[in-house]
Structure 1
Amino acid sequence: MKVKNHILGFPRIGLNRELKFAQEKYWNGEITKKDLLFVGKMLRKRHWKQQYKNGIDYISVGDFSWYDQVLNISMMLGNIPKRHTQKNIIDLNTLFLVARGCAPFRKPTFASEMTKWFNTNYHYIVPEFTKNQIFKYSWNQLLDEVDESLSLGYNIKPILLGPLTYLWLGKVKGENFNRITLLKRILPIYQYVLNELKKRNINWVQIDEPILSFDLPEIWKNSFVYAYNELNNYTNIMLTTYFGKVDHNLEIIKKLPIQGIHFDLISGKYNLSNLINFFSKDILFSFGVINGRNIWSSDLFKWFNILKPILKKRYFWIGPSCSFLHIPIDLSEENLLENDIKNWFSFAIQKCKELKLLSDSLNKNNVKKIEKYSKKIISHNISDKVHKIDVENRLKNLKKKDFKRKNIYKIRKKIQKNKFNFPLLPTTTIGSFPQTNKIRKLRLDYKTGKINSKYYNKKISKYIKKVIKIQEKLGVDVLVHGEPERNDMVEYFGENMNGFIFTKNGWVQSYGSRCVKPPIIIGDVYRKKPITIKWSKFSQSLTKKPIKGMLTGPVTILCWSFLREDIKKSIISKQIALALRDEVSDLEKSGIKIIQIDEPALREGLPLRKKNWDKYLSWSVDSFRLMSSGVKDSTQIHTHMCYCEFNDIMKSISDLDADVITIETSRSEMDLLEYFKEFNYPNDIGPGVYDIHSPNIPTIQFIESLIKKAINYISVKKLWINPDCGLKTRTFEESILGIKNMIQATKNFRKIL
């Protein structure tokens, strides 16, 4: 039999972010639901055709989502929180209401929580579970999309997020109970969907269970056996694992009545001979040999030599390590990249071609084409654009003192208190202010040479003056300049450091309609010149209140970039930290007294298995401290984190030794702070008191309720008041109203205290 190829999912946003723009127009009332649905159908049709045209044997269906794939399953199961169940209807507007807290023709309410999808920069809406919950098959687009693709004549493989992973990713609300007890209630709905697929003569269904990379409790392991016995006899199931090795759960997987299993060979190395001998000969293997999370061309010659001996023993499929959701769509659009650099890369469409090329080579036992193709990677390793001896020597010569502040926090706290004299419950925002269309156009016009620097600087100055004036009028204690000169918190710093390159159209979905364009790290990283000094210094000249210098931390830049693969992550992280240590020093010298180093990706980068945590946390904490520790005791270092489970790593967050940390907590209504009953966080902390990712304006009473909760867990002497995140996605009207209510709620508490 011939080796077949497939993918685990295709990017859904469209080459030119068509989905993003259609969603936002629909939310703003500029287009109808019919118009929005048309865009979705057009994108699906295009993406199926692209897979087919580029040689994919099984076309992926079910990877499309209007927000995220976890929320798709919540809709399928009718798992809609009561506050979002309006008009007794579950439809597309319900989905947007759950995700955003508002939707056309729906009464606004607070959105469900959002957090990171495993160890990626993609986000999902967290399912909410209550005891005695009833599930009912509800709004589900999968079957419609299957019918749609079958009508076009494609050989398809539907995709479903597995029931165990879905339950694991959710959160219990109200009375505490083990959510695994809900498994029996959701399986009949999965059975119904699989039966409908069987009626449509679907041969294979991909069911994703990435939690098999985790260290699972026994009750969850046993539940896998129960669940898949219940799902057997409908259609062939390709159980899909990714983001890590599952060797510690092979005994459980072996017991499952499944017909196929996918292994991610990029995230974890396996002895393939031992692996195939472990399972029944009836099991179909799928090997993830193309990196679905990075954009480098694959060494197909290497994989040919690994897989060819296996083909003599077993028939198998090949695919990517995970869904292509995490990479851009088409490299051919990048006409501004130098050819020698462009040859190093491969986006979703090109990776489909790689799979076709490798499967053909395996089937024909011919290596000529892939041998030539794989020389692309070799050219990177010998390029003069990669290694800089000065950077590598500086890293080698670091001393222990480079990773420590001069004095401990208690001493710094007294010095800073005398210097700043902040009121009780000091207020601040996280950094960015609204990124208006005018500001985006201004930056683009400057970048493309349509306007000169004098005009550009005049407009940026005007924006900053406006932002400073707004904050002073509202009564914010620590101000920000609003970041009008910055496109993205990672891209901006990458553009101003060596070792990075950028794409023109390499967009990747982060959540909902939010897309980012990750930089690519191709070589050793160092700073060209000061990056933020000009506008930080200008902003401070406008006010007597302290302005925060705003920087992105090394681990976040690392996690939110596409990385070179020839050196360890820890080395890249410390290179970035050293480059930005110089920026911290220059900010301090220029008169900036408070410097915020954002590290929202610290938890995201955590390995999936706990046995690997310490090593990662050691070098990631060292990277932050290397960047932040060269300042005086009187300089206050802030950090910010959002949308993740901080409790897992709170000790390491404490080890960062930032004077103040601000974190996201409002979507969970401060539930996160339960942890502080047991853990006495030593430094100052600002739990976010309103959700900036929703256009809903928090009331004074709502913010007061969150401040009251925070005071139950954190000493008022350590407590700061701030939003969850930056305000770049909001309008000025929304931002002003939100901050105004936050300040008033804070003043009310100051009177009481």
Structure 2
Amino acid sequence: MSSSSSSPPPSSPRPPLPHLEPARASSVLGYPRIGPRRELKRALERYWHGDGTRAELLATGRRLRDATWHDLRAKGLTQIPGNTFSFYDHILDDALLMGAIPARFHELTRDLSPVDTVFALARGRADVSPLELVPLQGTSYLYRQPEFDDASELGLRPDQLLAEVARAREQGFEIRPVVTGPVSLLLLSKAAATAAPGFRPIDLLDRLLAEYEALLTVLADAGVTCVQFNEPCMTMERTPDEIGALRRAYDRLAAAATRPRILVAGEYGDLGDALPALAATGIEAIGLDLVHGWRSAANLADVPGLRGKRLYAGVVDGQNVWRTDKFAALDYLRELRTVFDDVVVSTSCTLLHVPYDVVAEPDLPEELADSLAFAEQKVAEVVSLAHGLVDGVSPRWRRLPELPSARREDVRARTARIDDNDKVRAPYSERAARQAERLGLPTLPTATLGSFPQTVQIRRARKDLADGRIDYAKYCDYLRAEIASVIRLQEDIGLDVLVHGEVERNDMVQYFAELLDGFAATRSGWVQSYGSRCVRPPILYGDVARPAPMTVEWTGYAQSLTDRPVKGMVTGPVTMLARSFCRTDLALPEVAAQLALVVRDEVADLEAAGTAIIQIDEPAIRELLPRRGADRRAYLDWAVGTFLLASAGARPDTQIHTHMTYSSLQVMQEAIEELDADVTAIVATRSIEWVLDALTGHTLTRQVAPGVYESRSGFVPDIDLLHERLLTAVDAVGVERLWAVPDGGLKSRYTWQLEPSLRNLVTAARRIRRAVAPDRRGSNKMGGEQVPGHGPGIGS
């Protein structure tokens, strides 16, 4: 039963709202939660592996929460956000706060603790697939996508949130709870497989609002004076109906009889038409991203109703690591103060997307470090600007320093010579025939998408190398042994196309950045990607050049161990751009062109070494897609051109693969076709649905590899499930253009988890081969089933 029944009747007297804070008001919209030394990651993995107790995990969470509150207050922040900590994902937490557990998890979670319920939905079990892992657009963060159907049961579960409020108060903190807003929570969700045809999660808005009203009541009863509802979906392009839903939602919540003040934050861009809709409601405060969604003070003054709100001015960038120009920011804030009586200096979004502290980076060049601001420094900037609004420019403020000299005239000259001919390959029909002859692959080839588990031995060897306990030659011995093990495993499983496992790579972007000029790597600059998965985004500060080949040695070694083709694996230029903290002194297309030339050279060296299949990974093209349609075509034009520049130098008989993130947007499907890759692998099991539509509608005409199971969970798909998914694709479009693959890399798995899944995948693919091509059986030296007219293999 919905807990909203505990809400007071409309006639209940509504307590007066608390007085507004004085000048010098400062806040942030959220804060990192993994711990400065990845304490949460280690605690999670100890618990998941059975080496730690639940009590120890919960204690780590409490220490991290407490440390954040104390740190923020010590820096002078006047308003401290709460409920920003999560053991896995805040969006999943907020769905569970509203009681949104999909029906397929009811039995699994019946007797679980709250934290284990989170893990069950996020990680699945061997026999239950988890919620889907999807990117939060405009960021590199991945969240577990809530599921709803028309019969979804809701019911507020506020105990953990109220316990945090109480714990903060015991320590002298009045926190502002942060919760995903109702409209974005539904727009970020998907229709469950059990939903009726045509059902959309937003159809549940009125039912969900009852739970949000109940939340407002229990927070007010607990003494909370302000709650922050994040509506990141409203900075994307939205329909009039969706804008209307936002207006209806906050009209209703603002009218709640008993509630705290409501702050609605629009993260990651401009609120657009959602801003006047929000300003027209009775909420008290609106948070604006004034970095990526800048508006003049005069423009904001013209928004009806906005001048009566408290304005959280997000002038400090929460998504990049460069210092704020405080002189320019203060001038802008002063303009805002001439229009708005009540301004709180804030960040553009949560600081979840940046590392903790630049002081922990002793290896960075001093002049580069002086240009950077991580979470700790960004909080200090917010507080300093808030004081500057009252006291004026501080004598301690410094102008932004010049970046280290990183201009490369040879790089600039080469990019200036790029023309359209550099982006054109031979026609696909010609390439396909020559690749088939060279590779001799069977119908419905099986493969993986690159990475294999990073074993304890390899992680230890990498650390020993960094600490000087072993030399590079000894480290290479470890790598060769691990690559040989990965090759043997894949041959035994029966995969048709192999990979070397990327055992030498700490991360798909950082590895390359450390080998390129123009990048700087951090030692402790960890950022959460999802769950316990953390990455260290490199800092791209200068012109990019490649001193030497980066992947040829290890790909060539792997190929020497087998007669089956081994894919060369290179991270694509747009993904390197998207998953780095990028310089701001050059336009993105210019930086991307430099990266494309680096990849183009690597492809040429792989080809020269005999590599017949090269995968240029571009999972992040979707991440940089502008949040509004008017800007998308221009972005995709240069993103596609960047990929073509990187790949078009390949010979016709070299098969170019790419690896993309799911997107049902028509403009993205068209862009995938324009990439002109020979084979496109697509992340997410649900991608198979739109891939079928795109193939049937002739949007995609090349070969495709729709991921048929999620590689990041412990769920092991059985043969029948994989056969059904593959057969659905075969029945829709035929078998000639399909590959059978998982939907992502296997780095986060263990061998005992990935091996049964891959064996089942190979068995399902072979079952289909026998059914659709019974006359094509026959062993070839590449381990597949010989297709008439195909050559004998890469070794010939």
TM-score (normalizing by structure 1):
0.96
3-state SS of paired residue (1:633) = coil
Q: Is the 8 A contact 1:97 1:108 kept in 2?
A: no
395, 414, 417: which one pairs with 2:415? 395
Cα 1:146/1:671, change in 2 over 3 Å: farther
Match of 1:620 in 2: 639
Are 1:92 and 2:111 counterparts? Answer: no
Are 1:322 and 2:345 counterparts? Answer: no
Cα distance, 1:305 vs structure 2: 1.4
Match of 1:76 in 2: 97
Q: Matches of 1:328 and 1:196 in 2, distance apart?
A: 34
Cα distance, 1:557 vs structure 2: 0.4
Cα distance, 1:139 vs structure 2: 6.1
Cα 1:644/1:495, change in 2 over 3 Å: farther
Are 1:331 and 2:354 counterparts? Answer: no
Match of 1:356 in 2: 383
Q: Is the 8 A contact 2:454 2:747 kept in 1?
A: yes
Match of 1:219 in 2: 241
Alignment of 1:516-531 (within 5 A): 516-531=535-550
Cα distance, 1:274 vs structure 2: 3.0
Deviations 1:475-503 (A, max 9, x none): 21111111111110000010111000011
Letter in 2 for 1:196: V
Letter in 2 for 1:733: W
Match of 2:225 in 1: 203
Cα distance, 1:279 vs structure 2: 4.0
Q: Matches of 2:159 and 2:111 in 1, distance apart?
A: 13
Letter in 1 for 2:83: G
Deviations 1:423-445 (A, max 9, x none): 11011111111101110111221
301, 312, 317: which one pairs with 1:291? 317
Cα 1:466/1:65, change in 2 over 3 Å: same
Q: Matches of 2:690 and 2:646 in 1, distance apart?
A: 31
Q: Is the 8 A contact 1:127 1:171 kept in 2?
A: yes
Q: Matches of 1:324 and 1:14 in 2, distance apart?
A: 13
Q: Matches of 2:191 and 2:367 in 1, distance apart?
A: 52
Letter in 2 for 1:230: R
Q: Matches of 1:139 and 1:28 in 2, distance apart?
A: 29
Q: Is the 8 A contact 2:673 2:699 kept in 1?
A: no
Alignment of 1:52-451 (within 5 A): 52-86=73-107, 88-89=110-111, 91-102=114-125, 108-138=127-157, 141-173=160-192, 174-175=195-196, 176-232=198-254, 233=256, 234-280=259-305, 281-313=307-339, 314-370=341-397, 372=398, 375=399, 377-380=400-403, 383-384=404-405, 386-405=406-425, 407-451=426-470
Deviations 1:265-291 (A, max 9, x none): 110221112313434442111110101
Are 1:42 and 2:63 counterparts? Answer: yes
Alignment of 1:599-638 (within 5 A): 599-638=618-657
Q: Is the 8 A contact 2:424 2:648 kept in 1?
A: yes
Q: Matches of 1:660 and 1:714 in 2, distance apart?
A: 15
Cα distance, 1:646 vs structure 2: 6.1
Cα distance, 1:567 vs structure 2: 1.1
Deviations 1:421-475 (A, max 9, x none): 2111011111111101110111221233211222222221111111111112222
TM-score (normalizing by structure 2):
0.91
Q: Matches of 2:117 and 2:693 in 1, distance apart?
A: 30
3-state SS of paired residue (1:369) = coil
Q: Matches of 1:253 and 1:38 in 2, distance apart?
A: 39
3-state SS of paired residue (2:396) = helix
3-state SS of paired residue (1:666) = coil
Are 1:567 and 2:580 counterparts? Answer: no
Q: Which has the larger displacement, 248-257 or 733-742?
A: 248-257
Q: Matches of 1:367 and 1:93 in 2, distance apart?
A: 49
Alignment of 1:715-734 (within 5 A): 715-734=734-753
Cα distance, 1:727 vs structure 2: 1.2
Q: Is the 8 A contact 2:663 2:669 kept in 1?
A: no
Q: Matches of 2:515 and 2:634 in 1, distance apart?
A: 30
Match of 2:611 in 1: 592
Q: Is the 8 A contact 1:604 1:644 kept in 2?
A: no
Match of 1:751 in 2: 770
Q: Which has the larger displacement, 308-317 or 7-16?
A: 308-317
Q: Matches of 1:95 and 1:77 in 2, distance apart?
A: 13
Match of 2:14 in 1: none
Q: Matches of 1:225 and 1:629 in 2, distance apart?
A: 49
Cα 1:157/1:505, change in 2 over 3 Å: same
Cα 1:398/1:30, change in 2 over 3 Å: same
Match of 1:737 in 2: 756
3-state SS of paired residue (1:231) = helix
Q: Matches of 2:342 and 2:67 in 1, distance apart?
A: 31
Q: Is the 8 A contact 2:183 2:246 kept in 1?
A: yes
Unaligned runs of 5+ in 2: 1-21, 773-796
Unaligned runs of 5+ in 1: none
3-state SS of paired residue (1:247) = coil
Cα distance, 1:248 vs structure 2: 3.2
3-state SS of paired residue (1:426) = coil
Deviations 1:595-619 (A, max 9, x none): 0000000111100000100111011
Letter in 1 for 2:280: K
Q: Is the 8 A contact 1:474 1:739 kept in 2?
A: yes
Q: Which has the larger displacement, 84-93 or 603-612?
A: 84-93
Cα distance, 1:89 vs structure 2: 4.2
Cα distance, 1:696 vs structure 2: 2.5
Q: Matches of 1:479 and 1:366 in 2, distance apart?
A: 60
3-state SS of paired residue (1:368) = coil
Q: Is the 8 A contact 1:642 1:725 kept in 2?
A: no
Q: Is the 8 A contact 2:137 2:622 kept in 1?
A: no
Q: Which has the larger displacement, 661-670 or 573-582?
A: 661-670
Q: Is the 8 A contact 1:603 1:646 kept in 2?
A: no
Cα distance, 1:672 vs structure 2: 5.6
3-state SS of paired residue (1:4) = coil
Q: Is the 8 A contact 1:285 1:316 kept in 2?
A: yes
Q: Is the 8 A contact 2:124 2:713 kept in 1?
A: yes
Letter in 1 for 2:407: H
What is the number of equivalent residue pairs in this alignment? Answer: 741
3-state SS of paired residue (2:273) = helix
Deviations 1:57-81 (A, max 9, x none): 1111011112111101211121111
Are 1:704 and 2:726 counterparts? Answer: no
Letter in 2 for 1:100: R
Q: Matches of 2:85 and 2:581 in 1, distance apart?
A: 23
3-state SS of paired residue (1:465) = helix
Letter in 2 for 1:398: I
Q: Matches of 1:612 and 1:140 in 2, distance apart?
A: 43
Letter in 2 for 1:213: T
3-state SS of paired residue (2:581) = coil
Q: Which has the larger displacement, 90-99 or 387-396?
A: 90-99
Q: Matches of 1:576 and 1:668 in 2, distance apart?
A: 28
Q: Is the 8 A contact 1:676 1:714 kept in 2?
A: yes
Q: Is the 8 A contact 2:691 2:706 kept in 1?
A: no
Q: Matches of 1:139 and 1:108 in 2, distance apart?
A: 30
Query: What value does the CA root-mean-square deviation take over the aligned residues?
Result: 1.7
Cα distance, 1:643 vs structure 2: 5.3
Q: Is the 8 A contact 1:603 1:645 kept in 2?
A: no
437, 440, 461: which one pairs with 2:480? 461
Q: Matches of 2:320 and 2:714 in 1, distance apart?
A: 33
